[in-house]
């Protein structure tokens, strides 16, 4: 059992001793992928429609069936995912008041991930969950309007789709009444602790 999983079990035990009950809200990777796209799609559709209506005339479009397009797409995806996970960490580091000691970065199946190592109240947990959506999502929309074209549109789509799972988790967090939230160490989602 790795150190983070051990720490997670210790936190759970301490909360049980204080009379808390747990509610597991985690999602399989398949469910996260499908529902993440569903949650992100409305944002993508709105921006793509605005793009088609108002920006297409001045857009810098690239040929999409070229090698350079695929290299560019891969570069956008890799950079976006790394920044996305760093933003989760930054959000939780600030919201927890414990700095970078509150977060753990990991690489699993060649994909970076970030998890919060401390139990947080609802608002603080949501800040960490939604920071990538707010920063990269809104930043991407701004990029599309300032520099319309294939690169900016692709960046926006990648960033919204990547934040889809975060939107899914935030939706469930918002439905919870007052609770403490522990980010799950290995799954997408959280454990809510209620008294």
| Structure confidence by residue, pLDDT tens digits, 141-172 | 999 999 999 899 999 999 999 999 999 999 99
More confident residue, 171 or 64: 171
Residue 62 pLDDT? 77
Residue 108 pLDDT? 75
Q: In the predicted model, what is the mean pLDDT of residues 34-38?
A: 93
* 3-class secondary structure per residue, the chain: CCHHHHHHHHHHHHHHHCCCEEEEEEECHHHHHHHHHHHHHHHHHHHHHHHHHHHHHHCECCCCCCHHHHHHHHHHHHHHHHHHHHHHHHHHHHHHCCHHHHEEEEEECCEEEEEECCCEEHHHHHHHHHHHHHHHHHHHHHHHHHCCEHHHHHHHHHHHHHCHHHHHHHHHHHHCCCCEEEECCCCEEEEEEEC
Phi, psi of 186 (to 5 degrees): -130, -15
For the cut 70, the answer to whether the pLDDT of residue 39 exceeds it is yes
Phi, psi of 144 (to 5 degrees): -60, -40
CA 124 to chain centre: 15
Which percentage of the chain shows pLDDT scores above 70?
Answer: 99
Q: In the predicted model, what is the mean pLDDT of residues 28-44?
A: 92
Residue 21 pLDDT? 95
Q: How confident is the model at residue 1 (pLDDT cuts 50, 70, 90)?
A: very low
Residue 118 pLDDT? 94
Q: What is the pTM of this model?
A: 0.91
């Amino acid at each position: 059992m790795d150190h983070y999983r051990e720490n997670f079990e210790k936190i759970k035990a301490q909360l049980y001793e204080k009379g808390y009950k747990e509610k597991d809200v985690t999602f399989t990777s398949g469910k996260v992928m499908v529902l993440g796209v569903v949650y992100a799609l409305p944002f993508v559709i709105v921006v793509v429609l605005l793009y088609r209506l108002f920006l297409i005339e001045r857009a810098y479009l690239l040929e999409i069936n070229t090698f350079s397009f695929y290299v560019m797409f891969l570069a956008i995806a890799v950079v976006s995912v790394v920044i996305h996970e760093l933003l989760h960490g930054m959000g939780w580091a600030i919201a927890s008041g414990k700095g970078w000691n509150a977060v753990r970065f990991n690489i699993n199946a060649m994909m970076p991930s970030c998890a919060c190592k401390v139990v947080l109240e609802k608002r603080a947990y949501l800040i960490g969950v939604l920071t990538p959506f707010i920063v990269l999502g809104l930043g991407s929309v701004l990029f599309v309007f300032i520099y319309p074209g294939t690169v900016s549109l692709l960046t926006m789509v990648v960033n919204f789709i990547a934040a889809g799972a975060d939107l899914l988790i935030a939706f469930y967090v918002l439905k919870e009444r007052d609770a403490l939230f522990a980010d799950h160490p290995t799954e997408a989602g959280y454990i809510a602790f209620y008294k």
